[in-house]
C-alpha cells in the first residue's frame, strides 16, 4: 500500500514528490537548492535534461511504498509513459530545507 504524499516525513522530499505527481515543474524547481545534482542508476546526469525527459514530458508519477532515514530514503513504484512502472529507490540530501542532491535507480 502506498504512503500518502502528505504523510512523508521530510518536508522537502514531500514537496518534491507532490510536485512530480502534479506535473508541476515550477514547484519541483522550488524544492531544489541552487546547483542541485542527481544520479540515475549510479551515473550522474544533467538534472534539467533528465527531469524533463524522465518526469515531466513522460508524465512521471511516484507511489511511495516505504521511507527510511527520516524520510530521505524512499522505495517507490515509479511510472512514466516511456518505461512503464518499476520499483525504484530514491535517496535525498537536504540542506536548509532544500534538496541538494538526489539519487535514484531500480530497487
Confidence of residue 70 (pLDDT cuts 50, 70, 90): very high
- What value does the mean pLDDT take over residues 3-29? 98
CB proximity list for 103: less than 8 A, separation 6 or greater: 38, 39, 40, 42, 90, 91
Beta strands in 1-107 (DSSP E): 32-40, 43-45, 61-68, 73-80, 84-95, 98-106
Mean pLDDT of the chain: 97
Average pLDDT over residues 20-44: 97
Sort 46 into a burial class: Cβ within 10 Å, 0-12 / 13-18 / 19+.
Answer: exposed
Question: Is the model's pLDDT at 100 over the cut of 90?
Answer: yes
Confidence of residue 76 (pLDDT cuts 50, 70, 90): very high
Instruction: Say if residues 39 and 50 touch (Cβ distance below 8 Å).
Output: no
Q: Is 31 helix (H, G, I), strand (E, B) or coil?
A: coil
Distance CA 45, CA 66 (A): 25
pLDDT (average), residues 38-67: 97
pTM (2 d.p.): 0.95
Element (H, E) at 19: helix 11-22
In this prediction, residue 1 has a pLDDT band, given cuts at 50, 70 and 90, of confident
Amino acid at each position: 500500500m502506498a504512503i500518502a504524499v502528505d504523510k512523508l516525513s521530510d518536508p522537502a522530499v514531500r514537496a518534491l514528490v507532490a510536485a512530480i505527481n502534479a506535473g508541476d515543474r515550477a514547484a519541483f524547481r522550488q524544492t531544489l537548492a541552487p546547483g542541485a545534482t542527481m544520479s540515475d542508476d549510479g551515473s550522474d546526469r544533467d538534472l534539467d535534461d533528465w527531469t524533463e525527459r524522465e518526469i515531466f514530458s513522460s508524465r512521471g508519477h511516484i507511489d511511495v511504498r516505504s521511507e527510511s532515514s527520516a524520510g530521505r530514503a524512499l522505495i517507490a513504484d515509479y511510472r512514466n509513459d516511456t518505461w512503464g512502472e518499476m520499483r525504484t529507490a530514491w535517496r535525498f540530501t537536504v540542506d536548509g530545507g532544500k534538496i541538494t542532491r538526489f539519487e535514484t535507480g531500480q530497487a
